[in-house]
Structure 1
Amino acid sequence: MAVRFEDAYPGSKAFLELPALRVPAGWRIALNDLSDQLDPGLCDPASVLFSATNVGTRFQIEVIGGFRLKVSYAPWPRTERGRRIADQPLEFLDGEVVHELDTVEYAALIAELQHWIARCSVWVREGN
């Protein structure tokens, strides 16, 4: 009997090297190439290793090659009177960087990533 990919994947090297992250509802994980086998000195400093966005709280968390964690916030677009414009797509190009961390320690990176995922799940940066 042939082994199906779906059955073999949980035991595969690609799956086993993924970090065990606690990610609450509301996050969209666009990319997760994190692995405890990564050497930060050999990573391309411009490559994105992890990217997650929470539309509800308007935060984006990225890990860039060389183990640089960046947390960004996309402020709500406002009218001339200062009222929030709803239903606008997130724009992180001009977003506010609220936290950055550079480390060479994988365990420290994962701990910090987990902390910021939890914090940005409930953090409200601006009111109505």
Structure 2
Amino acid sequence: MTAEQRVVAWGDELVKLHAGFRQELARIRAGGHGADLRTHCLAFCDALHAHHEGEDAVLFPHLAAGHPELAEVLARLGAEHRVVARISGRVRDLAGADADAADELDRLSAELEAHLDYEEEQLVPLLNSMTTMPEDL
């Protein structure tokens, strides 16, 4: 696969990454208790946080520079990242204290699903049409 082919499929890659987040969160919600919840939540929350930090620091500024019409979309996505981060933090705290995190996991799932759906709806077609991407991604 050439570099150009890889970039053209960037939106599809984002969808695949999001599918992994969805699957892992569903697995955590289905069977996470005690040490298992702490271990899986920590890994999941860290990966999700790193993904969102990369979008906020690199991808969104790149998109904003070339597509000023996305200003409101990117602002909303950034705000959603902060909401997801707060909920993830509460889940981590509850899991670390061996407290019941089911309600917060449900809330995280709902917020994250809505966020991922919106991001895919708004960005995947554009990402799949782009021929340049920031090198830090």
TM-score range, shorter chain: 0.3 to 0.5
Higher relative contact order (CA 8 A, sep 6+): 2
Q: Which has the higher helix share?
A: 2
Larger radius of gyration: 1
* TM-score normalised by the chain length of structure 1: 0.35
* TM-score normalised by the chain length of structure 2: 0.34
